[in-house]
Amino acid sequence: MLKERIRLGMRLALRSLRSEIRLAMLDRKGRVVAHRRYPGQGYKLHLGCGDKIKDGWINIDSSQKGDLSLDLREPLPFRDKSCSIVYSEHFLEHVDYPEPTLGLLKECWRVLDDGGVISIGVPDAGTALLRYADGDEAFFARESELFHPSWCTTKMEHINYTFRQGTQHRFAYDFETLAKVLSQSGFVEISQRSHDSNLDSRDPTGLYVVGYKRFSPRLQS
């Protein structure tokens, strides 16, 4: 009865509020754990890990599946230059663009030691658009077989799923755009890399990009 009396928009808003309250509570606890457990240096951060847990890494997620539950829209609870690598795979597209994304990447730059590397994998929206324009039926059939749900039967449905994944994806990337936001965050020597089965555990057709930290007084102010 209550569900019938509350409008759909209100139900969605209440669901979002409940999710934000839960995340804030998990984030508060996660920061206490981080300050107690990780006061040193040389850490390897795995952001947005989901259930892909990496041995020897600090696995971080908004759920309770990793080592730390954090709201990654907020500053990272690690010291300056305390990490050697920051890695994420199919996570950054879930962060609003541009300000929250820039905030997170600048935090990654801060916690990385000089010469440290950031490695990011996201859905390759640029390639999907090119394949759409080319009418590449085989490409989208492969996407359906490997990753996309059964209701994706037209090329445009596949494009929408790549860009939106329901309401979970907040932004779509090609190399130019991901390189731009990494550069704005202070990273240099930005390049695209191949899928690495020793590191990456998800979409082999995704876009994988690396960048490096070099000291910049401008970004220390």
Give domain status of residue 146, yes or no: no
> Which residues neighbour 22 within 8 Å (Cβ) at sequence distance 6 or greater?
none
Q: How far apart are CA 125 and CA 163, in angstroms?
A: 7
Give domain status of residue 137, yes or no: no
> Which residues neighbour 140 within 8 Å (Cβ) at sequence distance 6 or greater?
131, 132, 152, 155, 158
Question: Would you state the pLDDT for residue 203?
Answer: 79
Residue 131: how many other CB atoms lie within 10 Å: 20
pLDDT-derived band at 114, boundaries 50, 70, 90: very high
Give domain status of residue 55, yes or no: yes
Strand segments (E) across 158-213: 187-193, 207-213
Give domain status of residue 148, yes or no: no
Question: Would you state the pLDDT for residue 220?
Answer: 43
Between the alpha carbon of residue 38 and those of residues 31, 87, 116, 193, the distances in Å are 10, 17, 18, 30
Q: What is the dihedral of CA 64, 76, 209, 121, to 10 degrees?
A: 10
Alpha helices, H only, 68-174: 99-111, 125-134, 137-146, 155-164
Is pLDDT of 5 > 80? no
Q: pLDDT > 90: what percent of the chain? A: 79
Give domain status of residue 155, yes or no: no
Give the chain's domain count.
1
Element (H, E) at 88: strand 83-89
The highest-confidence range among 13-27, 94-108, 140-154, by mean pLDDT, is 94-108
The domain in which residue 51 lies consists of 2-123+169-220
Q: What is the CATH number of the domain that holds 215?
A: 3.40.50.150
Question: Would you state the pLDDT for residue 218?
Answer: 46
